[in-house]
């Protein structure tokens, strides 16, 4: 009976993580769309909903602590709950970075872009895929999916390098491009960090499955 109740609470924990994942995926999608279409109102919408992600983090944190304190989980359960606690920290930071991207979108909304945006939307697509995959890997207890997420990080890093080189070239061609180039590079850096947080989540999923964690921290 006690175990059945514990399993029900774990299911609720999974559902809450899926909900938080949906919030951050929405934020990344909206921030990307705001960037591409130069839609300042859409960007403001992302910023205004950041508190929903923060509230969900606190809710999940409280649920995890309650499970650990009241149910006396066995080792495998403890790893799972610990993983959820680590995940929500990275997920909350992803939400922060979507808001940071949106703030820069507002600054850029009335400017003509110095070049057509090509690689940044590709970065966004890959990072959304990584975030979704890392959360799915946890819910499904799928270590192979977690490893696929980690492998995708090289794609995001390569896209970031391409963006950086393109922007450096544009500044060399015209120094007046410098300010916007810096803002676009910062946006690309935020997407790269989102990918890094997705890797962190995937590594915690592997820890949940194996008890072994590759020590990685993203600031």
Structure confidence by residue, pLDDT tens digits, 14-40: 899 999 999 999 999 999 999 999 999
Per-residue pLDDT reduced to its tens digit, 126-150 = 999 999 999 999 888 899 999 999 9
Could you tell me where the DSSP H helices lie in 38-142? 40-48, 50-71, 75-108, 119-140
Multiple choice CATH, 2-210, 3.30.70.890, 3.40.50.80, 1.20.58.220, 2.40.50.140: 1.20.58.220
SS3 state of residue 127: helix
Task: Show the CA angle centred on residue 164, arms to residues 158 and 170, nearest 5°.
Answer: 140
Tell me the domain boundaries of the chain: 2-210
| pLDDT surpassing 70 at residue 1 | no
pLDDT of 212: 78
Residues 6+ apart with CB under 8 A from 202: 130, 133, 134, 137, 146, 147, 149, 150
Q: Output the pTM of the full model.
A: 0.91
**CA separation (Å) from 11 to 39, 110, 123, 146, 203?**
38, 46, 32, 20, 21
pLDDT at residue 218, rounded to an integer: 45
pLDDT in tens, 91-107: 999 999 999 999 999 99
Q: Quote the CA–CA distance of 24 and 15 in Å, as a whole number.
A: 14
Torsion over CA: 122, 126, 132, 135 (sign): negative
Local confidence band at 2 (pLDDT 50, 70, 90 cut-offs)? low
Query: How much is the average pLDDT of 139-165?
Result: 95
pLDDT digits (tens, 9 = 90+) for 61-97: 999 988 888 766 677 788 889 899 999 999 999 999 9
CA distance 104 to 117: 15
């Amino acid at each position: 009976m006690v175990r059945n109740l514990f399993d029900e609470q774990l299911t609720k924990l999974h559902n809450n993580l899926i909900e938080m994942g949906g919030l951050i995926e929405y934020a990344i999608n909206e921030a990307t769309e705001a960037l591409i279409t130069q839609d300042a109102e859409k960007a403001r919408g992302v910023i205004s909903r950041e508190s929903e992600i923060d509230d969900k983090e606190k809710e999940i944190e409280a649920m995890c602590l309650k499970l650990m304190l009241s149910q006396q989980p066995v080792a495998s359960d403890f790893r799972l709950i610990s993983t959820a606690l680590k995940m929500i920290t990275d997920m909350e930071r992803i939400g922060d970075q979507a808001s940071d991207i949106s703030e820069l979108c507002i600054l850029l909304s009335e400017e003509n872009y110095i070049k057509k945006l090509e690689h940044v939307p590709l970065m966004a697509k890959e990072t959304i895929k990584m975030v979704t995959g890392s959360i799915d890997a946890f819910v499904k207890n799928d270590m192979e999916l977690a490893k696929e997420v980690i492998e995708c990080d090289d794609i995001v890093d390569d896209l970031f390098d391409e963006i950086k080189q393109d922007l450096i070239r544009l500044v060399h061609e015209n120094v007046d491009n410098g300010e916007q180039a810096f803002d676009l590079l910062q946006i690309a850096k935020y997407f790269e960090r989102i990918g890094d947080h997705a890797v962190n989540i995937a590594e915690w999923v592997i820890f949940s499955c194996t008890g072994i964690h590759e020590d990685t921290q993203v600031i």
